[in-house]
Structure 1
Amino acid sequence: MSIKDLSVLFGVIMIIIMLVIPLPGPLLSVLILINISLALVVILVAMNVKEALEFSVFPSLLLLLTLFRLGLNVSTTRSILSEANAGGVVDTFGNFVTGGNPLVGFVVFLILVVIQFIVITKGAERVSEVAARFTLDAMPGKQMSIDADLNAGLITEQQAKDRREKIEDEADFYGAMDGASKFVKGDAIAGIVIVLINIIFGFIIGMTQFGLSAGETVDVFLRLTVGDGLVSQIPALLIATGTGIIVTRVAAKGNLSYDVTSQLFRFPKLLYIAAGTIFLLGLTPINFALTTVISGMLGFGGFYLSRAEERAAEPIEEVDETEERAQEMAAPENVVQLLNTDPIEFEFGYALIPIADQNQGGDLLDRVVMIRRQLALELGLVIPVVRIRDNIQLNPNEYQLKIKGNQVAQGELYINHYLAMSPDLEDDGIDGIETKEPAFGLPAKWITEEMKEEAELLGYTVVDPPSVVSTHITEVIKRYAHELIGREETRQLIDHLKETHPILVEEITPEPLSVGEIQKVLAKLLSEQISIRNLPIIFETLADYSKMTNDTDLLTEYCRQALSVQITNQYAQNQFLKVVTLSPQVEKMVVEGIQQTEHGNFITMDPENQQKLIEAVHQELTQAYFQDSAPIVLCSPAVRMYVKQIIGRALPETVVLSYNELEPTVEVESSGVVNVQ
């Protein structure tokens, strides 16, 4: 423990001692001066902080200072009533500050109490209560604003985290200040009660135990009581003022002194009006010389501030600024920053700015937030921040989506139009701009708002531009999710799983599987649209089979089989699944083309046979499409991943499953068998 920590602990122990053990007068004087010093430091700090959170310890400090002051009151009360002496400081305040008249001192004490209790404490308590309520009410809006800035790329993940923590700290601080202001209120009430006790019991003790006359008793005990009340109420008044300053601080560029001077004297010409008013008051029976001096000071202040404002408004030479900017651009740090690429970028032409600009009613930022949440639930992957910005190099209505700096999708949107898609491919019932739905490539038309109702009556599916682009972004991110999961993202998933399954994680990594090998398994699952949200099952499977093999392809297949319930629910509708199967000859041909090496298994089938297999699968799938169904390819577990590798490049959207990936309760109907001649 440091000396600072020990000093605070020692101070708390001393407060407890003061409540129990009588203290000598000289020690009481020292403690009273320390109390006044602490009160001065607190109010000076409160005046110099720019925002309330810079003095976040204030609620707890307020409790300790209040307890310290009340401990002093108990000790001085004990000394006054038992010895008629409470140290030199109390005696000095009782004589010098009150001018030798205890009754005047008592009146001054009452005025201080009224100022503290009625004016400052009551106002600070109300402000604390309202600030706490408004801070809590504003939290959801502030959180949404942070998410919007994060998705727009204006801030980083760390900056967003810091802002969220600041919002939480503000809520905690103002909530604590709402309660801490009650300490100040209670302290003022306790001060009044202690003074009354000292006067009443001091009068009784002075006449019965000290044998003083009534006049002498009043002179001695009232003087000491007033001195004690003043030395306690002055620090209390300072602390109460500091409380009021802290809770009334709003957005500021500097400390209280800077804000007061810069804002109060922001309009120098108004000082001329004040100077003229004071000068006119001098024409009345008020002292003319005094008003003339004050009006002269105000006029000079207005003149001085006006000149300073004019000098500040003069144009500044731009040579130095230009040179400085050129030096900054030439700095190697700025060049290095240009090498960074964002995981996901969405760029659009200037005509599409209204869909992203919240001031123009655009809600694209909010939609991106919902997309990230939706994909986190569907894929089990935290999608990186989507950086959204305009690009003047694009056509006005064009947009494009980049993954790690590479363009992967593009499209066109027409503001104030709707995208109409007809279930009948040959239907030409309405007029519009011919196009294709960007997410799925369906024929569509851009129609005006006047034609929307007519299109809906004709059976068209009508979608607004923000929904079109949101769907496109969602589908593209799903398609490229396997490229978005790297070792850093995998480590985050592992750390998250470790919080609930520590033994499972320790059994897998770093031995027998590294983070990179786990990342490859997860990426392979995502590449075929298999969610990795159920990490415990995936890691249980890896724990079982990683001791037998470290081939990530085989481990991926084992994980797929373990996720059979999830895969069945994903593709089977009402426990029914239409498939296209492979003939035994085709599977035998694939098995014979598998070459086993020490680095893993590879497919080495003849290119001609591969092309025949692709054409046969395409032919069977096309026939199934004409029968109003979209079947998947079903084969044995031994050849599934190799079949997917062969047909994946030519038919990337084709789903290939094995028998072990389906639950026994699923009813499978084969709509064709793939044969190769």
Structure 2
Amino acid sequence: GSMDGASKFVRGDAIAGILILFVNMIGGLAIGMLQHDLPFATAANNYVLLAIGDGLVAQVPALVISVAAGLIVSRVGDEDIGRQIAGQLFTIPRALGLTGAVLGVLGAIPGMPHLPFLALAALCGWGAWALSRAAAERAAQGDAPAAKAVAPNGEASWEDVTPVDVLGLEVGYRLVALVDKDRGGDLLGRIKGVRKKFAGEVGFLPPPVHIRDNLELHPSAYRILLKGVVVGEGQAFAGMFMAINPGHIKVPLVGTATTDPAFGLAATWIEARTRDQAQAAGFTVVDAATVLATHLNHVMQSHASDLFGRSELQELLDHTRRYAPALVEDTVPKQVPLPLLQKVLRNLLDET
């Protein structure tokens, strides 16, 4: 993770620190033997220890600063950096084990404070052992249930593939009342009427509309989907009415200004008590279910060719075969293959 990038920053300081340490050791030995006439052993005992101590005092803060800078600069995740460091240090047994070994080596150096380093080394060693044991216990407890859970469903099947609805309507939770018959909702009846009207005007029966609630939507929002793609969306308010301005009315209405989602006309969501006033002024007043049904009808008319699939073509041929069987048998597929016929009919739908 971040430690991989941090190593690039630490490496340069570590090499420079080692070189400075060797320079101090060689310089100290030279000063002790040449200027103070000390024997090699005495000079080494004095100046080498001083050089090592000076190196530790200088390198430990530099190491901490370099690691911190590397972690910050090379950080790419959104997780809190403190949690990342704690997770890398205190959830991996090997990290604690190596830390304890380094502390133990430092504690064994002559002249160093033995008790603090050795105590910390023992604490890190115990932490590494406890983490390793806990990981082994979790692995032993989790293997059997996981194997039992995976065994029945080990192989993928077509049952795992969720089919995409050709035509769908998703509503926010405040619009669920429009679908619930027990609460006076008549949206289902309106949609049946829209499909019947579409079949009479266009010439084929459209696929059914699958309605579901979607908690991710705004409570009063809805959207129309065609093969999983949003082709229309808007807002509706259950219990209120949309007053649509035909374009020439200047009378102001008290309510929420909006736009008719089907035809783009200026409109206003009004309370039920002002419905008669709006109608008297010349506004076209419709309820929320009618707004959704009209928008759905407009979308279906605009995407009629996309709704005309192979199953709709086959149903159309079966229906035609009832009163003109000879025409269907002589034409399809002897004269016109099904894919070509579907393409021709789709082009005709696009032109209308």
TM over 0.5: yes
Q: Is the 8 A contact 2:313 2:342 kept in 1?
A: yes
1:363 to 183, 186, 192: 186
Compared CA separation, residues 528 and 329, structure 1 to 2 (3 A): farther
Compared CA separation, residues 424 and 353, structure 1 to 2 (3 A): same
Counterpart in 2 of 1:333?
Answer: 157
CA distance in 2, matches of 1:473, 1:520: 24
The alpha-carbon deviation at position 488 of structure 1 amounts to 2.5
CA distance in 2, matches of 1:485, 1:322: 46
User: TM-score, structure 1 length as denominator?
Assistant: 0.29
Counterpart in 2 of 1:349?
Answer: 172
Compared CA separation, residues 363 and 463, structure 1 to 2 (3 A): same
CA distance in 2, matches of 1:526, 1:457: 39
1:443 to 248, 266, 269: 266
Amino acid at match of 1:458: A
Q: Secondary structure at the match of 2:292?
A: helix
CA distance in 2, matches of 1:523, 1:413: 32
Q: Deviations over 1:334-377 (max 9, x none)?
A: 66422x21110000000101001112111111222222222111
CA distance in 1, matches of 2:149, 2:196: 40
Compared CA separation, residues 411 and 512, structure 1 to 2 (3 A): same
CA distance in 2, matches of 1:517, 1:329: 42
Counterpart in 1 of 2:317?
Answer: 494
CA distance in 2, matches of 1:475, 1:490: 22
Q: Is the 8 A contact 1:349 1:390 kept in 2?
A: yes
CA distance in 1, matches of 2:342, 2:185: 37
Q: Is the 8 A contact 2:167 2:209 kept in 1?
A: yes
Q: Given the alignment of the two structures, is residue 419 of structure 1 paired with residue 258 of structure 2, yes or no?
A: no
Q: Deviations over 1:596-623 (max 9, x none)?
A: xxxxxxxxxxxxxxxxxxxxxxxxxxxx
The alpha-carbon deviation at position 325 of structure 1 amounts to 7.9
Amino acid at match of 1:443: A
Q: Deviations over 1:538-587 (max 9, x none)?
A: xxxxxxxxxxxxxxxxxxxxxxxxxxxxxxxxxxxxxxxxxxxxxxxxxx
CA distance in 1, matches of 2:340, 2:150: 46
Compared CA separation, residues 503 and 409, structure 1 to 2 (3 A): same
Q: Which one scores higher on RCO, CA 8 angstroms, separation ≥ 6?
A: 2
Compared CA separation, residues 443 and 373, structure 1 to 2 (3 A): same
CA distance in 2, matches of 1:425, 1:328: 67
1:514 to 296, 313, 337: 337
Q: Is the 8 A contact 1:425 1:443 kept in 2?
A: no
Amino acid at match of 2:156: P
CA distance in 2, matches of 1:324, 1:463: 57
CA distance in 2, matches of 1:325, 1:434: 55
Which 4+ stretches in 1 moved above 4 angstroms?
320-331
Amino acid at match of 2:171: F
Q: Given the alignment of the two structures, is residue 460 of structure 1 paired with residue 283 of structure 2, yes or no?
A: yes
Amino acid at match of 2:189: D
Q: Given the alignment of the two structures, is residue 401 of structure 1 paired with residue 211 of structure 2, yes or no?
A: no
Q: Secondary structure at the match of 1:499?
A: helix
Q: Secondary structure at the match of 1:445?
A: strand
Q: What RMSD in Å do the two structures reach over aligned CA positions?
A: 2.5
CA distance in 1, matches of 2:205, 2:259: 30
The alpha-carbon deviation at position 333 of structure 1 amounts to 2.8
CA distance in 2, matches of 1:410, 1:450: 27
Q: Deviations over 1:242-286 (max 9, x none)?
A: xxxxxxxxxxxxxxxxxxxxxxxxxxxxxxxxxxxxxxxxxxxxx
CA distance in 2, matches of 1:431, 1:322: 61
Amino acid at match of 1:386: V
- Figure out how many residues of one structure are paired with residues of the other and give that number: 209
CA distance in 2, matches of 1:499, 1:441: 42
CA distance in 2, matches of 1:390, 1:457: 36
Q: Is the 8 A contact 2:249 2:283 kept in 1?
A: no
CA distance in 2, matches of 1:416, 1:465: 7
Aligned identity (percent) is: 34
Amino acid at match of 2:307: L
The alpha-carbon deviation at position 454 of structure 1 amounts to 1.2
The alpha-carbon deviation at position 511 of structure 1 amounts to 2.4
2:349 to 521, 526, 535: 526
The alpha-carbon deviation at position 331 of structure 1 amounts to 5.5
Q: How do residues 198-277 of structure 1 correspond to structure 2 at under 5 angstroms?
A: none
1:433 to 256, 259, 276: 256
Q: Is the 8 A contact 2:251 2:281 kept in 1?
A: no
Q: How do residues 546-625 of structure 1 correspond to structure 2 at under 5 angstroms?
A: none
Residue segments in structure 1 that go unaligned for 5+ positions in a row: 1-319, 530-677
